[in-house]
A and B are shown apart, each in its own frame.
Chain A
Amino acid sequence: MTDEPHPLPITNGAPQICPGATDAERMLAESIREPRDLTRYLFYLRTARKEGLPLVVAPLDAAVNWARANAIWPLTFGLACCAIEMMAVGASRFDLDRFGAGAFRPTPRQADLMLVAGTVTHKMAPRVKRLYDQMPDPKYVMAMGACTIGGGPYSVHGYHVVKGIDRIIPVSVYVPGCPPRPEALIDALLWLQMQMAKGRPISSRYLPKRWHKSKESPFEGGAGGCCVDSPSPDSGIPNIPLHPLQRGKKDMDS
């Protein structure tokens, strides 16, 4: 090992400044307040190139998150009528491939997004849980349609329906509708991509409080090992990112 710093230090958090950096380089590095934000990172790279500065800061996870968000591989997994809309989204008219999310995988081991499209019955619930457990981290779950969100038409008299998929697995994004239109699904996907690009491990933030206690889990293995940085059980209300439509323009730009 030499004392010479690596030209591209890999960071997973705050920007690291190489020893011997000039004041200008230091200022640039510190200007990146949110190192995971790819836009700022690219802006920094442009400025650095224009000013003829050497590359000092390399938040690699920004690039990784960007790549991850634009190459979602959903699981081929349809349970009921919502799956018809999901297929429509995958087909040529709406074309999920435009967003890099059209590669439906036949096995959970290659997928990172589970589109739970349809009614989850008590008989199906352990299978859904197992498929989720078989997916590699980081993984995301989209609860599509009224049935998956809270039982839908079966919420009162449905003796056989799980009243919300978040009782079994953590959910990243809910798409209401019966079934949701393809546009709604695309909207949810874009929002999910936005969160992924910012490196927010959102699959754990929606975890209902009761699921933090794994002993309450109806299946083996607790609530599922998706949590990249799981909030502590006592942290109270989790920090839920708002939907783009609920936010002001100012927030959207940041």
Chain B
Amino acid sequence: MTQQEIHARLRERFGNAIRDWQTPETGDACIRVAPKILHEVCAALRDDEDLRFDFLRLISSVDRTECLSSVYHLYSYTHHHEAVLRIDLDRENPHVDSVSDLWAAAEWHERESFDMMGIVYAGHPDLRRILLPEDWAGYPLRKDYVAPKEYHGLTNE
């Protein structure tokens, strides 16, 4: 099943919460989902007989300046097809439901997104920094991040 067909099927079920299909000029196409129904959509993708997305490849995050995005790359080992979901979040208050109960692999990916971009995944069992020290201030991969002058007495210059 192509991604456009998957999009059509989701549109059929969730209506306007799934944005219109757009073929991008560059890069990979993605299915844009409203953050509120993300968990529902993911559950449907995983459990539907024809879709059966049993593998979460990765969750990445993007700072688009006007918003923060979380991108989910899914793959089905049953049907050998793939899909990319994208959600856009409010920059000031980036909250979205965790999908770690659907795919255990999401746990560390969501922690990384939280660590680097500050996206909060509600319902995550252990949401804390994974790469940086726990007392680090700020989210380094955001465009407006200013590197600290020093950390525990070690200067950064």
Contact = CB atoms under 8 A, between A and B. Distances in A.
Contacts of B24: none
A216 to B, nearest CB: 7
B154 A167 contact: yes
A253 B135 CA distance: 54
A163 B151 CA distance: 12
B147 A168 contact: no
A218 B152 contact: yes
Question: Does more than half of chain B's interface fall in helix, strand or loop, or is it mixed?
Answer: loop
Contacts of B148: 159
Interface residues of B, number: 14
Interface residues of A, number: 14
Contacts of B155: 163, 167
B125 interface: no
B156 to A, nearest CB: 7
B148 to A, nearest CB: 7
Interface string A117-139: 00000110100000000000000
A127 B140 CA distance: 22
B132 A218 contact: no
Interface string B74-107: 0000000000000000000000000000000000
Interface in B115-136: 131-133
Given A122-B152, A218-B152, A159 B157 contact: no
Contacts of A168: 154
Contacts of B156: 158-159, 163
A168 B154 CA distance: 8
Which residue, of A122, A163, A167, A218, has the highest number of chain B Cβ atoms within 10 A? A122
A213 interface: no
B157 to A, nearest CB: 7
B27 interface: no
A49 interface: no
Interface of B: 131-133, 140, 145, 147-148, 151-157
Interface of A: 122-123, 125, 157-160, 162-163, 167-168, 216-218
9 A-B pairs with the lowest CB-CB distances in the bound complex, closest first: A218-B153, A159-B147, A123-B133, A122-B151, A218-B152, A218-B154, A159-B140, A162-B154, A167-B154
22 contacts: A122-B133, A122-B151, A123-B131, A123-B133, A158-B156, A159-B140, A159-B145, A159-B147, A159-B156, A160-B132, A160-B140, A162-B154, A163-B155, A163-B156, A167-B154, A167-B155, A168-B154, A216-B153, A217-B153, A218-B152, A218-B153, A218-B154
Given A122-B133, A162-B154, 9 more contacts: A123-B132, A125-B154, A159-B140, A159-B145, A159-B147, A160-B140, A168-B154, A216-B153, A218-B153
